[in-house]
Amino acid sequence: MLRVRGPTCRRVIERPRRAGRQPRTLKARAIALLARREYARAELAVRLAATGAPRDEVEALLDELQQLGLLSDARFAGALVRQKAASHATRAIARELRERGVAKEVATAALAEAGAGDELAAAQALWQRRFGRPPADEREKARQIRFLLSRGYPPAVAFRVLRAAGARADEDGLQ
């Protein structure tokens, strides 16, 4: 039942129920998930297992999807690296790939392919896009450093970014 509110009236529209609809197969569910975005094998296994399917059936389906080229950890890792490269540090991206179950070799290859180069230059570019000017006071400095830390940059890089921007960035200044 759907309620539609107009400026002068209220009415109820009855939608037909889909009583005769067949439940989707495990393969149909997996393909529907993959149609929305890339998934790591381990991530998709967890999603499919949550439907109550037996583990061996899920693993067999994942093998089939990999053979068909519909599921690829390398493709997933590349997509994630491209998505986060401009806004996160290399170590933060590597940690996220590890948390999602991507093999270390695949993650390393994806990071190398994306050209994860100079971390300081990337942090400076991110800081410039976000803030663009040195902090006015200690509170603002702490906020800018926390921002860079939250994106996975080490404290030394965060302080160097602020120093290069002209802020007095003493490492002892943060409480």
- What is the pLDDT confidence band of residue 175, given thresholds at 50, 70 and 90? very low
Residue 1 clears pLDDT 50, i.e. is over it = no
| Domain match, 31 and 103 both | yes
pLDDT of residue 37: 93
Which is nearest to 95 in space by CA: 86, 84, 125? 84
pTM: 0.72
| Residues forming beta bridges with residue 3, ordered by sequence position | 12
- The residue among 113, 143, 164 that closes a domain is 113
CA 64 – CA 62 distance, rounded (Å) = 5
Asked if residue 78 lies in contact with residue 115, where contact means CB atoms within 8 angstroms, the answer is no
pLDDT in tens, 164-174: 887 654 554 44
**Mean pLDDT value across residues 84-89:** 88
Asked if residue 26 lies in contact with residue 57, where contact means CB atoms within 8 angstroms, the answer is yes
Number of structural domains (the chain) is: 2
Q: Bigger pLDDT: 54 or 174?
A: 54
**Mean pLDDT value across residues 7-21:** 55
| Domain match, 92 and 154 both | no
Q: Bigger pLDDT: 19 or 136?
A: 136
Joined together, the tokens standing for residue 158 give 């965060």
| Domain match, 144 and 169 both | yes
- What is the pLDDT confidence band of residue 117, given thresholds at 50, 70 and 90? low
Helical residues (DSSP H) of 69-154, grouped into ranges: 73-84, 90-99, 104-113, 119-130, 138-150
pLDDT of residue 118: 78
Asked if residue 61 lies in contact with residue 27, where contact means CB atoms within 8 angstroms, the answer is yes
Q: Is residue 7 part of a domain?
A: no
What is the rounded average pLDDT for all residues in the chain? 84
